[in-house]
Amino acid sequence: MAKLSWKDDGKCVDMDVDIFFEKYEEDIGLRAVIDRMCSRCPIAKECLQWGISHEEWGVWGGIYLEAGQKSDEFNEHKTTEVWDELLLQLTHDTGQGYE
């Protein structure tokens, strides 16, 4: 069986990507929904690694990045509970290898 790309397993695979960029910036209510979804996504770790290593902008692995760096402005709404959930997901080893 061929290995799937890490993106194929994301909870956001068929979603409008604008919700991770401009819409996330503009709608604080949407931020909580996206944060919760990413904290339960099986590929959050791979997603964040991609965002950092490719100096991306927008939400990657549940953290809003600007040029691959955590944005203080667009992450300031996160509660301790949200950060705890994200960190748990980002440090959890699923055992799945991706190319």
Whole-angstrom distance, CA of residue 47 vs CA of residue 40 = 13
pLDDT band at 97 (very low <50, low <70, confident <90, very high): low
Nearest to 51 by CA among 25, 33, 34, 70: 70
The set of long-range contacts for 48-53, using a CB threshold of 8 Å and a minimum separation of 24, is: 48/90, 50/6
- Which helix or strand (DSSP H or E) is residue 60 part of? strand 58-60
Q: What is the pLDDT of residues 43-70, one digit of tens each?
A: 999 999 999 999 999 999 999 999 999 9
Residues 6+ away with beta carbon under 8 Å from 99: 3, 5, 6
